[in-house]
Amino acid sequence: MVAAEDIKIILNVKTVGHLFVFVALMLASSSALTEAISSKVVIESKISTALSDEKKEQIRIEKEKKMHQQLVDSLVHRTKDIPGLLRSGKIKASEIPDPHWKKEACLACHTEGLAKASKSNLRTTNYESSCINCHVDEFDHNYIHPVNIKPSSKKKQSMNVEMRKQIKHTNGKITCSTCHDISLQCRLEDRQRHENAKFFREGPYSNRYDLCSSCHKASDYKRFNPHEHINEYGEITEQKCRVCHAGSIDELSDAESIDEVSFHVDENMNTICWGCHKWKPHPGGGFSFFKSKSGPNHLVKPSEKVLERIKKTLEEKKILMPLEPGTGKVFCATCHNPHAIGVISNEMAATGAETKSRLRSEKICSNCHIM
């Protein structure tokens, strides 16, 4: 039989064993808890660091935007820096402020404000230098006349009085101020501001070309319309086709799709149109009612969804929406038909010829988009 003392010893041993197990479990739990807490701290630290980095990036972006806006706002007082800023890509041509007809913008050309602005305090030696600061040649393709050339005696004689007076001050050369009276906007006359916005000398003119006829014979400079391809005898005028196309008329006539037609440009065919037509405001990049004041850019390669819609338009409406050869991008002629009636034999490709805005259909947006 087991003695009472032995039983006590056994019980004590069991108790110690249980205590040992309990302590071991407690230590294990404590270690796991410590690891869990440590992991949590690491995770929280990483999240905090990520949030901190994101916050820093947001602050950096906002700071850059603010600094850029300050730069743009200062341009009206530092126009001489504009050409360099444009070439370096620090500003866009669209960001150049327009100082014309604004009394607070006299400092764009003068070192003194409205009350004291005069010829004696121009920022540059002459008008033309001031003009060139903002109207930098390589960033502005809207000029219609060369400068720094000497007109013939015959043209000088036909000039209006104000133009003849001005040309004497510019060594007999045609300059910006030959046609534009810069000082008109300084007087801020309402009639001139609204009726002669380009401050033409002896303006306003009912037609800009009336100013041109001061020097040039009007009939010699009648506007050329490259879209009038058919002459009075119903024949295609090959000369008009040459404005956009290369290759012979026979080659153009035999082509079954736009991919078989040759052009004078190899890429960005929109430039053919932009030589005569301004593209803003336009869905291609500039409706003013969009919050961004730029609107969606349509001159890109369409998505699969839009391509499917264009295909459906061809099948259902029998309207061809051509894409730019080589790139597959939307370009001007995707929505506008530049040809005269009778030039294109394919009826689906001929839709929209000579209609208003030369749109290929009335509800042009629905040809690509579900409205």
Q: How many residues does the chain have?
A: 371
Taking the CA atoms of the chain, what radius of gyration do you get in angstroms?
37
pLDDT of residue 311: 92
- How many Cα atoms within 13 Å fall on the side-chain side of residue 324? 20
Cβ proximity of 360 and 249 under 8 Å? no
Q: What residues have CB less than 8 Å from 355, skipping those under 6 apart?
A: 337
- Residue 336 tokens, joined: 């506008």
Which residue from 337, 363, 362, 330 is spatially nearest to 351, judged by alpha carbons?
337
- Residue 79 tokens, joined: 């126009």
pLDDT of residue 37: 65
- Residue 94 tokens, joined: 């669209």
* Peptide bond preceding 281 in cis form (omega within 30 of 0): yes
pLDDT of residue 210: 82
Torsion, Cα of 144, 148, 150, 156 (10° steps)? 60
What's the rounded Cα separation, in Å, for the pair 142 and 198? Answer: 13
* Residue ranges in the chain whose pLDDT is less than 50: 1-2, 7, 9-11, 16, 286, 288, 293
DSSP 49: H
pLDDT of residue 323: 94
pLDDT of residue 70: 92
pLDDT of residue 12: 54
pLDDT of residue 286: 47
pLDDT of residue 178: 92
Residue range 6-53, pLDDT digits in tens: 545 444 555 545 555 555 555 555 666 666 666 766 676 766 677 777
* Peptide bond preceding 204 in cis form (omega within 30 of 0): yes
pLDDT of residue 306: 93
DSSP reduced 3-state for 200: strand
What's the rounded Cα separation, in Å, for the pair 46 and 29? Answer: 25
**Residue ranges of the domains in the chain?**
59-136, 146-217, 238-367
Burial 78-115 (b: 16+ CB within 10 A, else e): ebeebbebbeeeebeeeebbebbbeeebbbbbbeeeee
Residue range 185-222, pLDDT digits in tens: 887 666 777 788 889 998 888 776 788 888 888 776 66
What's the rounded Cα separation, in Å, for the pair 164 and 178? Answer: 8
DSSP reduced 3-state for 110: strand
